[in-house]
Amino acid sequence: MKTTALLSIAALTICLSLGLGGCKEDRLTVKQTGFRGLGMVQINETAALDAIAERNQLPDPIDPVEKSGTPSSKEYQNVKVLGDLDSNELMRLMTAITQWVAPEQGCNYCHNPENLASDELYTKVVARRMIQMTQHINADWTKHVDGVGVTCYTCHRGHPVPANLWFSNSVAEAHGFFGYSPDAKNHPGSFIGLASLQNDPFTKLLDYSQEIRVIGNTALPQKPERPSIKQTELTYGLMMHISKALGVNCTFCHNSRSFFAWDQSTPQRATAWYGIRMVRDLNHNFLEPLKASFPPERLGAGGDVPKINCATCHQGESKPLNGASMIKDFPELAVVGK
């Protein structure tokens, strides 16, 4: 009897050893980001970090050029943006943009090769406005981009259309059976971490400036009115999106002791605050006014333009491109030009 019991224990021990053999410590990367005992840690799968880092490599550099001494507006026709830039440096930037945005299509993706000054291709009209948007981000949203800056490559990564765009109507289909609702609740979406929340937090919170904060700062009842559960779900959906887009936990910005308190939050929360308002600014003032320029096939199901969210730039990184700056090599994108 004792022998049987010992054999059973030995067999169980072996099984547990084999089962736990795959639980290697190096599968997870854990970094403490705040005071001990508060859950202020960043946890990532090591393999996922390696994959994200690989996807966020910088493109090949473009060699500097000798200045011609002639402004682009004097050398070429119909230069409505970057006209004050040296003509040789403009050609260098055009070469870089081709590499960043349309490496397979080449210059003809935006230009008529028979008449480079022509605006007949919608892609040229959009690209011109996107250059202005890039300058605006780098010059006027320094509290978010923090000296690192952005270029066309930050979003495009070698593709004419960035991978992470959204349309208002593409995520809000209503299904006529139990458990689904017209507000897109219970429609699992990867952009909100597959949570059973309303899966379009972007229209109201990143397109329109609806209040995001739902935690009260006074004792109940809140005045003039308390946020609804529906509003709370939108907020949580946006937070899930930000967490996924940046590849971080909630505690990257918030102190788990008090998610509400700004004085106990990390510095990144302030950066994110400016980032949310930057996204609203770009959607309203740069992307939506381009609706008339886009062909029908580039619009959403409801006829709206493609818009941006946090994932458009970040793509799984807390700082796009591993925090590397490309703007130092293209200072013309860091100022609002003429």
* Cβ neighbourhood burial of 245 (10 Å; 0-12, 13-18, 19+): buried
Residues β-bridged to residue 166? 307
**CA distance between the termini of the chain:** 91
Q: Would 8 be classed as within a structural domain?
A: no
Same domain, 215 and 134: no
pLDDT the model gives residue 260: 87
Q: Which residue has the higher pLDDT, 47 or 264?
A: 264
107 marked as binding residue: yes
List pLDDT tens digits, range 43-82.
877 887 788 888 888 999 999 999 999 999 999 999 999 9
Same domain, 44 and 85: no
pLDDT the model gives residue 108: 96
Point out the least confidently predicted range of 27-31, 46-50, 153-157, 218-222: 218-222
List pLDDT tens digits, range 90-100.
999 999 999 99
CA distance 78 to 90: 13
Same domain, 304 and 187: yes
40 marked as binding residue: no
Q: Would 22 be classed as within a structural domain?
A: no
Same domain, 334 and 292: no
Q: Would 65 be classed as within a structural domain?
A: yes
Residue 34 has pLDDT above 60, yes or no: yes
pLDDT the model gives residue 43: 82
Q: If you average pLDDT over each of 3-17, 201-215, 287-301, which comes out highest?
A: 287-301
Q: Would 18 be classed as within a structural domain?
A: no
CATH (domain of 198): 1.10.468.10
Same domain, 132 and 64: yes
pLDDT the model gives residue 146: 84
Q: 36 is in which domain, residue-wise?
A: 27-56
144 marked as binding residue: yes
**Is residue 135 very low, low, confident or very high in pLDDT (cuts 50, 70, 90)?**
very high
Among 35, 56, 77, identify where a domain stops.
56
Residue 172 has pLDDT above 50, yes or no: no
pLDDT the model gives residue 199: 75
Same domain, 44 and 69: no
Residue 186 has pLDDT above 70, yes or no: no
How many domains does the chain fold into? 3
pLDDT the model gives residue 183: 58
The torsion of the CA quartet 293, 299, 304, 306, rounded to 10 degrees, works out to: -90
pLDDT the model gives residue 204: 85
pLDDT the model gives residue 188: 66
pLDDT the model gives residue 112: 95
Same domain, 298 and 282: yes
Same domain, 107 and 192: no
Q: Would 12 be classed as within a structural domain?
A: no
Same domain, 35 and 118: no
Q: Would 7 be classed as within a structural domain?
A: no
Q: Would 260 be classed as within a structural domain?
A: yes
Mean pLDDT of 147-161: 95
Same domain, 168 and 309: yes
pLDDT the model gives residue 50: 82
Mean pLDDT of 201-221: 79
15 marked as binding residue: no
241 marked as binding residue: no
Same domain, 75 and 205: no
Q: Would 130 be classed as within a structural domain?
A: yes
Mean residue pLDDT of the chain comes to 85
pLDDT the model gives residue 54: 82
Could you tell me which residues come within 8 angstroms of residue 79 by beta carbon, excluding any fewer than 6 positions away? 72, 73, 90
175 marked as binding residue: no
Same domain, 142 and 184: no
Spatial contact of 170 and 303, defined as CB atoms under 8 Å apart? no
pLDDT the model gives residue 223: 64
**Is residue 174 very low, low, confident or very high in pLDDT (cuts 50, 70, 90)?**
very low
Residue 144 has pLDDT above 70, yes or no: yes
* Contacts of range 81-90, beta carbons closer than 8 Å, 24 or more positions apart: 81/128, 81/131, 81/132, 81/337, 82/131, 82/332, 82/337, 83/337, 83/338, 84/337, 84/338, 85/332, 85/337, 89/65, 89/332
Mean pLDDT of 315-327: 92
23 marked as binding residue: no
